[in-house]
Amino acid sequence: MSIRICIDISRLADKPLTGVGKYIKNLVNHLSLVDAQNDYFLSANFFQCFHNSPKEVAKELRVGLNFRFVNLTPESVNISTFEKFDVVHSPNITSPKFKRAKLVTTVHDLSYFVNPEWHTKGNLEFSIRETRNAVKNAKKIVVPSENTLKDLLKYFGSNSGLKERVKVIPEAPDPIFYPERDYDRIVSTLDRFGIYSDYVLGAFTIEPRKNVKRLLRAYDSALSSIKEDVYLVLTGKVGWKVNLDDYLRELKCKDKIIFTGYVSDEELRVFYTCCKAFVYPSLYEGFGLPVVEAMACGAPVITSNVSSLPEIVGDSGITVNPYNVDEIAEAIVSVLEDDGLRKRLKKKGNKRVRRNFSWEKTARKTLEVYEELSGC
């Protein structure tokens, strides 16, 4: 007997896709590859948070005949709409209470509890409220790392049976991330951004949680010890609470920093593949998707020794104290100046991703959650 599974795909409307949007796209596409048995209903208007044409959402998905769209207009969405399904999966903490349908909620991180100052007031209020609702209403909660499980239990461990309701299911790099081998694509991409030298790469939204200010200071310090001419390339848009002029004011190396702004995944694949080191000194991550993307492309990784990042990178990268500028700088110098170390990190990181992180695995484990609930 097939299960009727509804998945909220509203965040596919975000353009460019956010981390949650990428999660939804890859989960749904790979569920389609591993499950031809159950019936899936893709809700484009989960509580009216969807604002674009359904066609804009649909083009992100490659699904089989057992997948169909529902709730394509705001008027069609209300709580009773979802009671006809066996399982409803909310992939980004929104957690309504159902009478019949069994709710699965994905909680990607708890940064809003750990460091509330990193969030806007509106986002903070929404995230805290919906996480509390997830703990109360969800039959299963999916988290991407053991560290996120630990955080959830830290703040909600007194809730009866919570640990038994939580399933750790790691995420994975999008299949578009692999070592780029097209020489013409590499040359044209780097030329388009004015990159004509070796470089260290950072890829993230430039905001306080990503620890960009310390990275800039560490690079500035490392530059005095590096024999060759190595630039720092930072991709991603500038987020809130950031003044780049303030970040750059005291640096000696301003002329060796390239801010690209937002780049496409194809461009980012080139940047990952060609960098001498990928540095991701984030202060908190629920999973750390850029780290596995970088390793999938063969980049030597330097990342933080806090939150989920040591769990994700294992012994395939260098972990540093993200609050210690000197430690970050020393790691950058060691990777740039030691060819053997750099080659070992590239090989180990790529191997670790191929062994441990794939969307097929994520989809199969998520399907197990659906099937477990359908038998309750």
91 within 8 A of 11, measured Cβ to Cβ: yes
- pLDDT for the residue numbered 91: 95
- For the stretch 6-29, pLDDT in tens is 999 988 877 788 889 999 999 999
pLDDT at 47: 46
More confident residue, 179 or 237: 179
Q: Which CATH number fits domain 183-356: 3.10.450.50, 3.40.50.2000, 3.90.226.10, 3.10.20.90?
A: 3.40.50.2000
Looking at per-residue confidence, does 282 or 160 come out higher?
282
The residue-averaged pLDDT of 332-353 equals 97
The top-level CATH class assigned to 4-172+358-374 is alpha beta
Backbone φ, ψ for residue 90 (5° rounding): -100, 110
- pLDDT average, residue stretch 269-274: 98
- pLDDT tens for each residue of 122-179: 889 999 999 999 999 999 999 999 999 999 999 998 877 899 999 999 999 999 999 9
**Facing residues of 319 across strands?**
303
One-letter amino acid of 41 = F
pLDDT in tens, 51-83: 556 666 777 899 999 999 887 665 556 778 889
pLDDT > 90: percent of the chain: 76
Q: What is the pLDDT, as a whole number, of residue 162?
A: 94
> How high is the pLDDT of residue 10?
84
| 306 within 8 A of 286, measured Cβ to Cβ | no
Average pLDDT for the chain: 92
Domain with CATH 3.40.50.2000 in the chain: 4-172+358-374, 183-356
Among the ranges given (39-48, 174-183, 273-282), the one the predictor scored with the smallest mean pLDDT:
39-48
